[in-house]
Amino acid sequence: MSAVKMTEGTVQLDSCKEPLFYRRSEPAAGDAKMSLLLLHGIRFSSENWLSNGTLEILAQNGCRAVAIDLPGFGQSKSAKAPAPVGELAPPDFLKEVCEKLNLNPVVVVSPSLSGMYSLPFLHQHQALMRAYIPVAPICTDKFTREQYQSVKVPSLIVYGDQDTQLGEVSLASLSNLANHSVVVMKGAGHPCYLEDPDTWHKALTDFLNTL
């Protein structure tokens, strides 16, 4: 496996008084072939992408990956979120994150809570996105079928088959995306990427190899 460089840092946004913490992984040598932004759910933080191996696997596969602690979570706890949990954040929030961290065009991995950030970004700024990987995100019902159909970004919809609540609800909306494929992880619940990292990493890297 190729060598990996891991770093940590903070990014200061114009829209946030306090800086946001992030972890970054990239190939130790040579340029990265693409950039990913890893978001997280309500009980989690960037640390989960470190502990389940996703940051390392992405770098081994030639990618640069940044896992960020969203405002109010992890080591960004003192940062104020731009919207209450469950409401849509301004689409320019992730746009600024990606610009400050030099991630465009970006592949966004968005589980659960982070749908409130990624979905507005997806609908407003698809030109800045290389791909979208939603994992049972919230807020999918806040957009119309027509809005989803107008999104041409390649998308990989992932959820656990035991996630009968958010997994199935989000799929009903996300399956209207114009250019999507679906991976259902057998026996996995809502945080399927933590419960079965091997299946998750295979689905993730297989999809990235098609881009």
Catalytic residues, by residue number, are 112, 163, 190
Question: How many alpha carbons lie under 13 Å from residue 32 in its C-beta half-sphere?
Answer: 25
Determine the Cα–Cα distance for residues 45 and 25; give it in Å rounded to an integer: 16
Within 10 angstroms of residue 11's Cβ, the number of other Cβ atoms is 17
State the burial class of residue 118 (Cβ atoms within 10 Å of its Cβ: 0-12, 13-18, 19+).
buried
The Cβ of residue 160 has, within 10 Å, a number of other Cβ atoms equal to 24
Of residues 9, 21, 4, the one with CA closest to residue 63: 4
A 10 A CB-CB count for 56 gives 17
Rounded to 5 degrees, what are φ and ψ at 118?
-75, -35
